[in-house]
């Protein structure tokens, strides 16, 4: 597990070492977070909203 900070509430978020970018995590504060890679390390940012061009 990697310990990261929620970019919305600043609280702790435990992320699996094997997490992949694009994984969406719901934090206990209600924020939807997205895992991505920053400088070769796992990081969190606010997940993207559903876009007009999203779908099948």
Partner 1 sequence: MRLGVAYDVLRWEERDLFSEARKLGYDVRPLYIKDYADLVGNSIGENLDAVIQRGVSHSRALISTTLLESQGLRVFNDSLTLVRCENKAITLSLLVKSGVNIPRTAIAFSKEKALEIARKLGYPVVIKPIEGSWGRMVAKAVDDDSLYSLMEYQDYTTSQFRTAYVIQEFVRKPDRDIRIFVIGDEAPVGIYRVNKANWKTNTALGAKAEPLKIDPELRELAMKVKDVIGGFFLGIDVFEDPDRGYVVNEVNGVPEYKNTVRVNNFNVSGFLLKKLAEVIKK
Binding site for Zn ion (CB under 5 A): 6, 8-9, 11, 27, 29, 31
Contacted by 6, from ligand ATP, partner 1, Zn ion, none: CB < 5 to 8 Å by type:
Zn ion
Q: H or E element: which one contains 5?
A: strand 2-5
Q: Angle CA(39)–CA(45)–CA(49) in degrees, nearest 5?
A: 135
**Stretch 1-40: interaction string toward partner 1, x if CB under 8 A:** -------------------xxxxx-----------xx---
Of 33, 52, 53, 54, which is closest to residue 4 (Cα–Cα)?
33
Query: Which residues ranging from 37 to 56 are in contact with ligand ATP (CB under 6 A)?
Result: 55-56
């Amino acid at each position: 597990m990697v310990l990261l900070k929620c970019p919305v509430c600043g609280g702790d978020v435990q992320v699996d070492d094997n997490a992949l970018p694009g994984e969406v995590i719901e934090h206990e504060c209600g924020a939807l977070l997205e895992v991505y890679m920053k400088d070769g390390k796992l990081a969190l940012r606010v997940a993207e909203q559903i876009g007009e061009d999203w779908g099948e």
